[in-house]
Chains A and B, each alone.
Chain A
Amino acid sequence: MQKSNVDIRSLQIGFGGLKVLENLNLHVEASEFLVLLGPSGCGKSTLLNAIAGLIDVKGGEIHIGGRDVTWAEPKDRGIAMVFQSYALYPRMSVRRNMSFGLKVAGTPREEIERRVGEAAQMLRLTSLLDRRPSELSGGQRQRVAIGRALVRHAGVYLFDEPLSNLDAQLRAELRVEIKRLHARLSATMIYVTHDQIEALTLADRIAVMQGGVIQQLDTPKKIYREPVNRFVASFVGSPAMNFIPGRIACDGETGFIAGANRLGLNGYAFRGLPTDARAVLGIRPEHIELTASDDPSAVSARVEMVEPMGADTLIWCRLADGTTFSFRDDADAKMREGDTLALRFPAQALSLFDETSGQRL
């Protein structure tokens, strides 16, 4: 099975006067698992549909496996696709759903049978082959839809929010299954989702999109640890990253001043030279640490609310100037409402954003 790379060059897409994507560039390596992540309306599905050839582009080029397929029919692009609503052909058995495209394309019968059998076995569908989609559960249906894509032996597999219609537990199961599939086939996969957990668990690289623009294209770890702007920082991660407004002070040791607190920024990797400016500090709840009350760098905060989450506890705190934030402690945290805590914000775990542009500093 061949694995194609995908190269998108200054792509433009619009409907009527509305520009959805403008001058978008993206390169996906062969065998890579790339996730397009973003809120609804950010253009991620539009981009995926353009790669599939299901919508016309206004400008730019799409290359798959080194061929210019900008104007090729979907079937000639060497792609296969899995849809959110499964889009199974309702009156056909599972077997026929998987084999119909191949049959119409004139693939020899033994070849069809071999591929269907292989895919069915991979997805544990063998016993369901003669059922109708209406007789299957949601998770089984989506496995059939994946099977229908697999038998195409495509160079690129496209997934359009495939797990959004499933309940939380099935979603988790199928997520693992897709990951296993990628590991086994090492096929190129492009996967659209608005669920950041899916993105973080599945992707080799994530492209976070908003407003038709790729905000950040990076490994999940980088996206999580070093978001390039406030949008990425707030979109990825749950519970969400805390944002504390304040300013950067470069007098002597560089620090961040929020109300009466001064946080040392020694160890923070500034992108440029730090200057005195208003900024927003971002820190993830799990990066905040409890410390001794005599620690000079300690920030003092009052506990407002305690949310036990099972595996850990989320504690909501308020600073003297009224800013609220949350931090994560282990499951048997003993804090109570009204307690005063001494907390440490490690500089290497922080993100600093320009107050107006929202860009990482």
Chain B
Amino acid sequence: MTAVAQPLPAARRPKRMTPARWGLYAFIFITALYFLLPLYVMVVTSLKPMAEIRQGNLLALPIAPSIEAWVKAWTSACTGLTCQGIKIGFLNSLRILVPSVAISILVGSLTGYALSLWRVRGANILFGAMMVVAFIPYQLFIYPLVRVFSFTGLGQSLLTIVMIHTIFGLPTMTLLFRNYFASLPVELFKAARVDGAGFYQIYARIMMPMATPMIVVAVILQTTGIWNDFILGLVFAGRDNLPMTVQLNNIVNSTQGERAYNVDMAATLLTALLPLAVYFGSGRWFVRGIAAGAVKG
């Protein structure tokens, strides 16, 4: 370079906090506030009595914190028709969640396994098609499926909603497990074949035990996905099995007369509790789940 010949002003050890660094932390701090604000407001509102909410400041800490609103939200908030609180929805969601997660992972892993390691004719076409249809909005399927289920006599029921979650979870689950099995050394599979193991034996004895990390990711992905579902539960679960999200919306949005914001927020937090627990409990696994789900196609 031509400029290097001139002496530099006495080179100094650089300072730790440059203005750019300050700007960086300021940016992070301000965005963090935007992201944390709703959670904070939810918590403080749910702990305030209504009088305090009406007079006070949204952001103020509760003067006389009480868990009354939580109790009410859990046991006696009205969802339009009944007033048994959101615990009904919580139990419904659990009853939907457990079999849906288990079955969708079972079917998805088996499909992924068959598509990755066994050269079945047309497997690639099937897989490609599954990746494409994963993008289609539910509105295209909902009405025909309602008709099909009522035709088969299942109608709206727990079994229906579990089947629906399995169906709509299939593309993502298949993708997840197919890619994972495809990344394992193929020699492993060949060795098992040479030892005379059959299709289901290899799946149950060798592949699934090795797929523990993917199972964790799949459980996280499906648990948050199914728990957070609204539209499928609304349409397919039936009045007796409405999931928590639907109940929550009913509690908050169908209230007649004065709204009990503290109860609303307590119910909202209760609904968000499980996914939040999964998220904070699983740490980087959640990110891995997103990354795995994000590589659709």
Task: Report A's interface with B, CB cutoff 8 A.
Answer: 2, 65, 67-72, 76-78, 105, 152-155
Is the CB–CB distance between A69 and B11 below 8 Å? yes
Interface contacts beyond A67-B7, A71-B14, A77-B4: sample of 10 additional A-B pairs, CB < 8 Å, sorted by A: A2-B5, A65-B4, A68-B10, A68-B11, A71-B12, A76-B4, A76-B8, A152-B1, A154-B4, A155-B4
Contacts of A78 in B (CB 8 A): 1, 4
- B7 contacts which chain A residues (CB < 8 A)? 67
Q: Which residues from chain B contact A105 at a C-beta distance below 8 Å? A: 1
Partner of B11 from the list A2, A72, A155 (CB cut-off 8 Å) is A72
List chain B residues, Cβ under 8 A from A154: 1, 4
CA distance A154 to B5 in the complex (A): 11
Residue on B nearest A153 in the bound complex, by CB: B1
Q: How far is the CB of A149 from chain B (nearest CB, A)?
A: 12
User: Interface residue count for B (Cβ, 8 Å)?
Assistant: 11
B119 within 8 A of A: no
B54 on interface, CB distance cutoff 8 Å:
no
Q: Is B121 an interface residue (CB 8 A)?
A: no
Residues of A within 8 A of B12 (CB): 71
Are B8 and A72 interface neighbours, CB within 8 A?
yes
Does B13 lie at the interface of the complex (its beta carbon under 8 Å from any beta carbon of A)?
yes
Set of chain A residues within 8 Å of B14, measured between Cβ atoms: 71
Smallest distance from the beta carbon of B281 to chain A beta carbons, Å?
A: 30
Quick one: closest B residue to A53, CB to CB?
A: B11
Instruction: Across the interface, name the chain A residue whose C-beta is closest to B2.
Output: A153
What 0/1 readout, one digit per residue, does chain B (27-71) give for beta carbons within 8 Å of chain A?
Answer: 000000000000000000000000000000000000000000000
Whole-angstrom CA separation of A78 from B11 in the bound complex: 14
Once the chains are docked, how many angstroms separate the CA of A67 from the CA of B4? 10
Determine the chain A residues whose CB is within 8 A of the CB of B2 once the complex forms. 153
Which residue of chain A lies nearest to B6 when distances are taken between CB atoms in the complex?
A67
Instruction: Tell me, rounded to whole Å, the shortest Cβ–Cβ distance linking A139 to chain B.
Output: 27
CB-nearest residue of chain A to B12: A71
Contact B13 A71 (CB under 8 A): yes
A71–B14 alpha-carbon span in the complex (Å): 7
Q: Name B86-133 residues within 8 Å CB distance of A.
A: none
* Ranked 9 nearest A-B pairs via Cβ: A78-B4, A71-B11, A72-B11, A71-B13, A71-B12, A72-B8, A68-B11, A70-B11, A67-B7
Residues of A contacting B11 with CB < 8 Å? 68-72
Residues facing A in B117-154 (CB within 8 A) are: none
Give A154 to B2 CA distance when docked, in angstroms.
9
Kindly state the separation between the CA atoms of A105 and B2 in the bound complex, as whole angstroms.
11
Inter-chain contacts of A65 with B (CB < 8 A): 4
Q: Across the interface, which residues of B come within 8 angstroms of A2, CB to CB?
A: 5
Closest A residue, CB atoms, query B11: A71
A and B contact pairs by CB, cutoff 8 A, 22 listed? A2-B5, A65-B4, A67-B7, A67-B8, A68-B10, A69-B8, A71-B11, A71-B13, A71-B14, A72-B8, A72-B11, A76-B8, A77-B4, A78-B1, A78-B4, A105-B1, A152-B1, A153-B1, A153-B2, A154-B1, A154-B4, A155-B4
- In the bound complex, residues from chain A placing their C-beta under 8 Å from that of B10 are 68
A152 to B10, CA, bound (A): 23
Q: Which residue of A lies closest to B7 (CB)?
A: A67
Q: Smallest CB-CB separation from A57: which chain B residue? A: B13
Chain A nearest CB, measured from B20 CB (Å): 14
- With a cutoff of 8 Å between Cβ atoms, the chain A residues found around residue B1 in the complex are 78, 105, 152-154
List the B side residues contacting A71 at CB < 8 Å. 11-14
* Residue of B1, B7, B8 with most partner-chain A CB within 10 A: B1
Report B17 CB to chain A, min CB distance, Å.
Answer: 15
Residue of B nearest to A154 (CB): B1
Chain A residues, Cβ within 8 Å of B13: 71
